[in-house]
Amino acid sequence: MLTRREFLWAAIAAPSCFGLTGGLSLAEDLREGAVEPTVEEALAAIRTLTSTAATSVTAERRAACDVIQDSVDRLRAAEFEEYFKSSPEEAKRWEDERAVLRFLNASFDKVLAEFRETTVADGGVVLWQIYNMGYLVKTPTQSFAIDVKHRRAPELTPLIDFLLVTHKHGDHYTDAFCDSVASAGKPVVTNFIDNEWKTPEEGREYRFGDCSIKTRLVDHNDRLRKFVTTYEIDCGERSSGTTILHVGDACNVGQLVATKPIDVFIPHLAVGLDVPKAVNETIRPKTTLLSHILELGHLIDKWRWSYQYGFNICEKCANDSVILPVWGEKYEARQ
Ligand SMILES: [Zn+2]
């Protein structure tokens, strides 16, 4: 009897025997020249990425990104899906073999540990990058998550007061996490789950504890109109009104609205949104956390934007306040 993983490998080797088609992306090419890092190289890169900060991109940090990128460029989308669905034991095997998955898991441990030991001082908030556009946020009074996709996401349920999701695409939420948060009796805000928190087309305002949230529906692209909810989150008096604008996969800079000064702006770096214009002309945030790199559910050579792509957009913005967080990154916003 083949395990799921053995089946997948066999299918990749001989797709016709298994009657599988391009839908599983079996023909996906690995990047030529990319070599899977050794365990020692992976551990060293993870150590560097978790002990340095996105606000200071040193040559050492860039080199560590290159190590993880080699592993990213050897992990097929179908393999990532397989890993995502796997049992903890199977997942551990994947993580032992693939630097990128080792990092994805280790960065989640880092977030959990830091979240528990962090007391947020008045006048600010702390954010952790999870994966893609996913963030965990802790204010002086509350905690919440936005757009979290991670195989271990339900472990966050006891830590948060509410969950926000920008849109119904699999790289921005998981059913397991939404169900887990809802089962705990906590609000799950989306524009697609029929519960009391659903955002209607005209947008809606919410108040959770001392957090005030304004939502709007905007376009993802020409076809998916009013598909993405943007969240303008005023984190409350104790945070001195620190405000986060998370815009998910919003593509049109003209549709983005900020009703007050934005401290932390979280956009997709490559969905067609004019990020330099938002940063320098319209939203003018204090800090931008450029997001949506390394979406492993996308094919290696299609829409899986690399670290280098992210650094290039940072450069294009020509603004020191635009940074590229990596998985597990902790960012403190202070007034
Ligand atoms: Zn997306």
Distance (angstroms) between ligand 1 centre and the Cα of 101 equals 19
| Ligand 1 centroid – CA 297 distance (Å) | 10
Kindly give the distance from the C-alpha atom of residue 100 to the centroid of ligand 1, in angstroms, as a whole number: 19
- The per-residue pLDDT for range 111-155, each reduced to its tens digit, is 999 999 999 999 999 999 999 999 999 999 999 999 999 999 999
Mean pLDDT of 88-97: 98
- Is the pLDDT assigned to residue 8 strictly greater than 70? no
Q: Is the pLDDT of residue 25 over 50?
A: no
pLDDT > 80? residue 10: no
Residue-level pLDDT at 5: 46
The CA 111 to ligand 1 mean position distance, Å, reads 21
pLDDT confidence of residue 29: 80
Q: How confident is the model at residue 335 (pLDDT cuts 50, 70, 90)?
A: confident
**CA 303 to ligand 1 centroid distance, Å:** 9
Distance 114 CA to ligand 1 centre (A): 26
> What is the 267 CA–ligand 1 centroid distance (Å)?
10
3 pLDDT more than 90: no
Between the CA of 203 and the centroid of ligand 1 the distance, in Å, is 20
pLDDT above 70 (res 23)? no
Residue 18, pLDDT score: 35
Cα 228 to middle of ligand 1, angstroms: 10
For the 119-334 domain, the top CATH level (class) is alpha beta
Mean pLDDT, range 292-308, rounded to an integer: 93
Give the 3-state secondary structure of the chain.
CCCHHHHHHHHHHCHHHHCCCHHHCCCCCCCCCCCCCCHHHHHHHHHHHHHCCCCCCCHHHHHHHHHHHHHHCCCCHHHHHHHHHCCHHHHHHHHHHCHHHHHHHHHHHHHHHHHHHCCCCCCEEEEEEEECCEEEEECCCCEEEECCCCCCHHHHHHHCCEEECCCCCCCCCCHHHHHHHHHCCCCEECCCCCCCCCCCCCCEEEEECCEEEEEEEECCCCCCCCCEEEEEEECCHHHCCCEEEECCCCCCHHHCCCCCCCCEEECECCCCCCHHHHHHHHCCCCEEECECCCCCCCCCCCCCCCHHHHHHHHHHHCCCCEECCCCCCEEEEEC
Q: In this predicted model, what pLDDT tens digit does every residue of 202-251 receive, in sequence order?
A: 999 999 999 999 999 999 999 999 999 999 999 999 999 999 999 999 99
Q: How confident is the model at residue 201 (pLDDT cuts 50, 70, 90)?
A: very high
- What integer pLDDT is reported at residue 204 of this predicted model? 98
Which of 221 and 20 is assigned the larger pLDDT? 221
Ligand 1 centre to CA of 171 (Å) is 5
User: What is the CA(249)–ligand 1 centre distance, in A?
Assistant: 6
Distance CA 242, CA 270 (A): 26
Structure tokens belonging to residue 306: 């690399």
Instruction: Kindly state the average pLDDT of the residues 69-77.
Output: 96
Tell me what pLDDT residue 27 has: 61
Distance between Cα 11 and ligand 1 center (Å): 28
pLDDT at 302: 86
The domain limits of the chain are 4-104, 119-334
Instruction: Tell me how far the alpha carbon of residue 48 lies from the centroid of ligand 1, in angstroms.
Output: 27
pLDDT above 90 as % of the chain: 88
pLDDT digits (tens, 9 = 90+) for 143-169: 999 999 999 999 999 999 999 999 999
Range with lowest mean pLDDT among 23-27, 241-245, 293-297: 23-27
254 pLDDT band, cuts 50/70/90, is very high
